[in-house]
Amino acid sequence: MRRRTTFPLVLLGATALWSVFATLAGSPEKSYYYLNDLVVEDNYAVGIFWHDKDIPHAEKLSEADKTLFMRMIADFDDPGTSRFERQIFLGQAADKAAQETCPPSAKSCSYTAYFNQTISPTLIHGDLRLISLEARTLRQDVTLYPADNRVEYGPRYTEYRKMRFMLTERGWVLKTVETTEIRLIEQQPALPLQTPKMSGLNYYPASASWDDFWDVFPQKHIAEDLDIIQDLGANAIRIFVQHDYFANPETQADGLSKLNTLLEICDERDIKVIVTLFDLRADYRFQNWGRDSVHLMTVLKAIRGHPALLAVDLKNQADLDFDSAGKANVLAWADAMITSARYTYPDIPLTIGWSDARQAGLLSEQLNLISFHDYHDPQGLAERLKQVHHIAGDKPVFVTEIGHSRWALIRDKSKRQANRLEAQLTQLGSADGVFVWTLHDFDEIGSNIVGHRPWRKSQQKAYGIVTQDGERRPAAEKFKKFNSEFISIQTGD
Amino acid sequence: MRIIPIYIMMSLMTVVPGTVQGQSKGQEGCLIVPHKTLCKTESLNLYVGPQSVEPGEDIFIAVETLTAANDSSQASSVVIIDELTGQRYEAPVVQGLAYIELKAPNQAGRLTFRAETDNVTSQPAEVLVHAGQAASFDIHIEKNKGQAFVWTSIITDKFGNFVDDGITATIELVSDDTVYASLQTSTQGGRIGLHIPCGEIKKTQSRIRARIGYAVQEMNIPTYLCGGEI
């Protein structure tokens, strides 16, 4: 369902803050030297993977050492960081870091975004005086134009670098960073996902939606809900992985375990799952690509090859952030995440659930299935679907959100919901997948989901086609009838 | 719908080389290879450690070969020289680093290493090889100034190196397999020497035991040593 998060710091639109002593509204007494001074430190993992190698003295490196090296590399790679004050660079590395400054008067500044970076030790001095590492990373060249807050994204490469750390009286310092090889990535069009017709529901349990889902994870309710979904003749669900829960080291393992449990419960019922990532995260800055890539890889690693996994939806309604974050930035981020996922897990089908059919052509070459949402007037939906099919070519097209709220000021509009859903479904016969929003109503809707307006929250609470007691509303019957015909088309029953 | 198995997607994501320059001579003293210019060596950094070792322990030596810009130079090998013995060790340079591991010699002393390549020499780096654990010594006791004086011969490690000054030694007075007094001293000039008042020594059969590291020597205390006091 749609999300209207206004990200408080649209940092890429704030590059003018590079200038010395720029101030922010609300904290006029505070000065910032660099863009990244604005970024609140969090406890998420550094956006780099460490890969141990069986080389002499490898056992002498502690986990703390490895983390320190990765943090120093992240600092080095992070454009705009106040790295010079941190005194962690020496010699050639310090010189290179200095070249990365963007003086306020500059017409443009060139940076490099690194993501999906893997670090391995190549030489460990037996006395731990010197450590040499090699890095394999995806690299995107970025040009900032401070005057008009514009960002341009250049070619994408695979880059191999060597890095050398030296132990000094003040601890480890990064002494050398050198590129040893660089290759341009030319990503070929993704192949169509091979899939039977899928019909399902966007799913949260009634008792634990959005932020609460993975924390509460009411397994008994989930199993009961999936039985209901199966009884409705559906064969799929679309779920949402909240970024914060799965990226936070304190909750990550719990989240991944529960995600696999959910896939298992679905697999027992032969229900396929679209896993939607980066939910409730509207931060597309290239400075975060490394960490986002780690988050992506962490989840993909946990679910790859699971028989219940149908596809990964990289970002729910990313197009709704075009205005706040900038279309180019959102698309560059999405493209980078696609590249990152493909690079490591090429067999996981990818899609992006655009909020509108008119956006369905975006990045369609790189996606394995095309998906969009439709909350417009049902009249014309068939035509919109046809247009998307035309764009998608031989790739399957899923309409991953349709539905209608029963909410009205005077009384519940269950019949109107059913009629409208029926009107939508009757036009989706040529779709390869249809997902209704949603199984249940929700008692609470956070302001981070649909904004502060009370009527929006009320609308959002009342999309369920089944009551919290499991009783089917008229819309559920329409959906079941649709499924009995729609799914049999593909299977040839 | 045309169906193509998912598993061949990987092969379609190709990685192709970017702009590649041919190998050629560029600016003076530099070699241009794909994506990189390797210039001549201007300096060598030598990292030797640990700073002190015992005979037979590992000495780790790394050499950075650097250009004037502190990038890795084009050097393909370096020679590491042990100036004491004149021994030369050639080591290949990989990604701007050469690395060797040596065993410390059996003879204690100060080692000095240098690295050389392309007529560039590093600053020297030193390693102190000190004696290992005490391995052998003799214990003696005699009367001196009215007291029992315990002393040892030169204490050496298994390679004959004098043990370092300041090594803790324990002198125990033993009777009937019971240690009834324990005193500590430390080595100086490769020996220990310690006065024990006769009053501290039991009149019954007593032995004296010296422990230095894992090495132990003991002997009976002669009854005449403290004269009529025993």
- CA dist B125 and B65 (Å) reads 16
Q: In chain A, which residues have their Cβ closer than 8 Å to the Cβ of B7?
A: 347
Residue B78 located in a structural domain: yes
Residues whose CB falls within 8 Å of the CB of residue A63, separated by 6 or more in sequence, listed in order: none
Q: Chain A: nearest CA to B109, how far in angstroms?
A: 20
Q: In chain B, which residues have their Cβ closer than 8 Å to the Cβ of A166?
A: 47
Q: What is the mean pLDDT of residues B161-174?
A: 93
- pLDDT for A82-108, tens place per residue? 544 556 777 778 777 777 666 767 788
> Do A192 and A368 touch, CB atoms closer than 8 A?
yes
- CA dist A159 and A179 (Å) reads 7
Helix (H, G, I), strand (E, B) or coil at A360: coil
pLDDT value, residue A142: 86
Using only C-alpha atoms, chain A has a radius of gyration, in whole angstroms, of 24
Handedness of CA B93, B94, B98, B101 (dihedral sign): negative
**Of B129, B149, B183, which marks where a domain is finished?**
B129
Closest-CA residue of chain B to A157: B18
- What are the angstrom distances between the C-alpha of A91 and each of A3, A80, B70? 47, 19, 7
> Could you give the percent of chain A with pLDDT greater than 90?
57
- CA dist A55 and A49 (Å) reads 18
**Of B95, B129, B163, which marks where a domain is finished?**
B129
A414 or A395, which is more confident: A395
> The tokens 């590249």 sit on which residue?
A339
Query: Is B36 within 8 Å of chain A by CB?
Result: yes
Q: In chain B, what's the furthest Cα-to-Cα distance?
A: 116
- CA dist A368 and A7 (Å) reads 29
DSSP B164: P
Residue B27 located in a structural domain: no
Query: Is B57 within 8 Å of chain A by CB?
Result: no
Q: In chain B, which residues have their Cβ closer than 8 Å to the Cβ of A136?
A: none
Residues whose CB falls within 8 Å of the CB of residue A410, separated by 6 or more in sequence, listed in order: none
Nearest of A377, A390, A478, A472 to residue A434 by alpha carbon: A478
Beta bridge partners of B122: none
Q: In chain A, what's the furthest Cα-to-Cα distance?
A: 78
Residue B59 located in a structural domain: yes
Question: Per-residue confidence at A206, pLDDT binned at 50, 70, 90?
Answer: confident
- What are the angstrom distances between the C-alpha of B30 and each of A225, B7, B38, B44, B91? 69, 45, 5, 17, 22
Query: Is B28 within 8 Å of chain A by CB?
Result: no
Q: Is residue A389 scored above 80 in pLDDT?
A: yes
Distance of CA A434 to the CA centre of its chain: 21
Q: Is residue B12 scored above 70 in pLDDT?
A: no
Distance of CA A238 to the CA centre of its chain: 14
Distance of CA A331 to the CA centre of its chain: 12
Nearest of A349, A346, A338 to residue A310 by alpha carbon: A349
Q: In chain A, which residues have their Cβ closer than 8 Å to the Cβ of B12?
A: 188-191
CATH number of the domain where residue B155 is located: 2.60.40.380
Whether residue B107 is found in the same domain as residue B40: yes
Helix (H, G, I), strand (E, B) or coil at A86: helix
Closest-CA residue of chain B to A338: B13
Count Cβ atoms within 10 A of the Cβ of residue B154 and give its class: 0-12 exposed, 13-18 middle, 19 or more buried. middle
Count Cβ atoms within 10 A of the Cβ of residue B181 and give its class: 0-12 exposed, 13-18 middle, 19 or more buried. middle
> Do A199 and A486 touch, CB atoms closer than 8 A?
yes
Q: Chain B: nearest CA to A138, how far in angstroms?
A: 11
pLDDT value, residue A423: 96
Query: Is A122 within 8 Å of chain B by CB?
Result: yes
> Could you give the percent of chain B with pLDDT greater than 70?
85
Q: In chain A, which residues have their Cβ closer than 8 Å to the Cβ of B125?
A: none
Residue B4 located in a structural domain: no
Beta bridge partners of B152: B139
> The tokens 């590399």 sit on which residue?
A73
Q: Do A188 and B12 touch (CB under 8 A)?
A: yes
Q: Do A130 and B70 touch (CB under 8 A)?
A: no
- CA dist A204 and B134 (Å) reads 73
Closest Cβ opposite residue B5 in set A194, A342, A368? A194
Give me the domains of chain A, ranges plus CATH numbers. 45-184 (3.10.450.240), 198-491 (3.20.20.80)
Q: Is residue B2 scored above 60 in pLDDT?
A: no
pLDDT value, residue B133: 92
Query: Is B12 within 8 Å of chain A by CB?
Result: yes
Across A55-83, b (16+ Cβ under 10 Å) vs e yields eebeeebeeebbebbbebbbbbbbbbbeb
- CA dist A196 and A232 (Å) reads 17
Q: Do B70 and A158 touch (CB under 8 A)?
A: no
DSSP A47: S
pLDDT value, residue A414: 86
Q: Do B97 and A191 touch (CB under 8 A)?
A: no
> The tokens 């021994």 sit on which residue?
B87
- What are the angstrom distances between the C-alpha of B62 and each of A36, B45, B101? 36, 8, 9
- pLDDT for B194-214, tens place per residue? 999 888 887 777 889 999 999
Residues whose CB falls within 8 Å of the CB of residue A417, separated by 6 or more in sequence, listed in order: A403, A404, A405, A406, A465, A473, A474, A475
Q: In chain A, which residues have their Cβ closer than 8 Å to the Cβ of B36?
A: 178-180
pLDDT value, residue A30: 34
- CA dist A186 and A155 (Å) reads 9
Show the domain range for B187. 139-229
- CA dist A251 and A256 (Å) reads 9
Distance of CA B125 to the CA centre of its chain: 13
Q: Which of residues 97-156 of B touch A (CB under 8 A)?
A: 97, 99, 101
Q: In chain A, which residues have their Cβ closer than 8 Å to the Cβ of B94?
A: 122-123
Q: Which string of DSSP letters, residue by residue, matches A232-278?
A: TT--EEEEEEEHHHHHSHHHHHHHHHHHHHHHHHHHHTT-EEEEEEE
DSSP B133: S
- pLDDT for B77-132, tens place per residue? 999 999 989 999 999 999 899 999 999 999 999 999 999 999 999 999 999 999 99
Query: Is A194 within 8 Å of chain B by CB?
Result: yes
Q: Chain B: nearest CA to A186, how far in angstroms?
A: 6
Q: Chain B: nearest CA to A214, how far in angstroms?
A: 30
> Could you give the percent of chain B with pLDDT greater than 90?
61
Whether residue B47 is found in the same domain as residue B121: yes
pLDDT value, residue A490: 54
Q: What is the mean pLDDT of residues A26-47?
A: 42
Across A7-37, b (16+ Cβ under 10 Å) vs e yields eeebbbebbebbeeebeeeeeeeeebbbbbe
Q: Virtual CA dihedral for B80, B84, B87, B91, nearest 10 degrees?
A: -10
**Of B68, B99, B129, which marks where a domain is finished?**
B129
Whether residue B124 is found in the same domain as residue B154: no
Residue B89 located in a structural domain: yes
Query: Is A125 within 8 Å of chain B by CB?
Result: yes
- CA dist A96 and B131 (Å) reads 45
Residue B14 located in a structural domain: no
Whether residue B175 is found in the same domain as residue B106: no
Whether residue B198 is found in the same domain as residue B175: yes
Whether residue B149 is found in the same domain as residue B183: yes
Query: Is B20 within 8 Å of chain A by CB?
Result: no
Residue B102 located in a structural domain: yes
- CA dist A386 and A384 (Å) reads 5
Q: What is the mean pLDDT of residues A17-26?
A: 30
Nearest of A412, A184, A151 to residue A289 by alpha carbon: A151
Q: Is residue A453 scored above 70 in pLDDT?
A: no
Neighbours of B33 (CB within 10 A): 16
- What are the angstrom distances between the C-alpha of B112 and each of A170, B84, B87, B121? 26, 7, 11, 13
Q: Do B64 and A346 touch (CB under 8 A)?
A: no
Query: Is B34 within 8 Å of chain A by CB?
Result: yes
* Total domains in the fold of chain B: 2
Average pLDDT of chain B? 83
pLDDT value, residue A80: 58
Q: Which string of DSSP letters, residue by residue, matches A379-444?
A: TTHHHHHHHHHHHHTTS-EEEEEE------SSS--HHHHHHHHHHHHTT-TT-SEEEES-SS--S-
CATH number of the domain where residue B73 is located: 2.60.40.1930
Closest-CA residue of chain A to B10: A346
Closest-CA residue of chain A to B58: A126
A490 or A182, which is more confident: A182
- What are the angstrom distances between the C-alpha of A291 and each of A295, A308, B93, B110, B153? 6, 27, 34, 49, 66
Residue B12 located in a structural domain: no
Whether residue B144 is found in the same domain as residue B103: no
Q: In chain A, which residues have their Cβ closer than 8 Å to the Cβ of B16?
A: 183-186
Q: What is the mean pLDDT of residues A17-37?
A: 32
Tokens encoding B35:
């994506």
Across A169-195, b (16+ Cβ under 10 Å) vs e yields eeebbbbbbbebebbebebeebbbbeb
Q: Chain B: nearest CA to A310, how far in angstroms?
A: 12
pLDDT value, residue A81: 56
> Do A440 and A422 touch, CB atoms closer than 8 A?
no
Using only C-alpha atoms, chain B has a radius of gyration, in whole angstroms, of 32
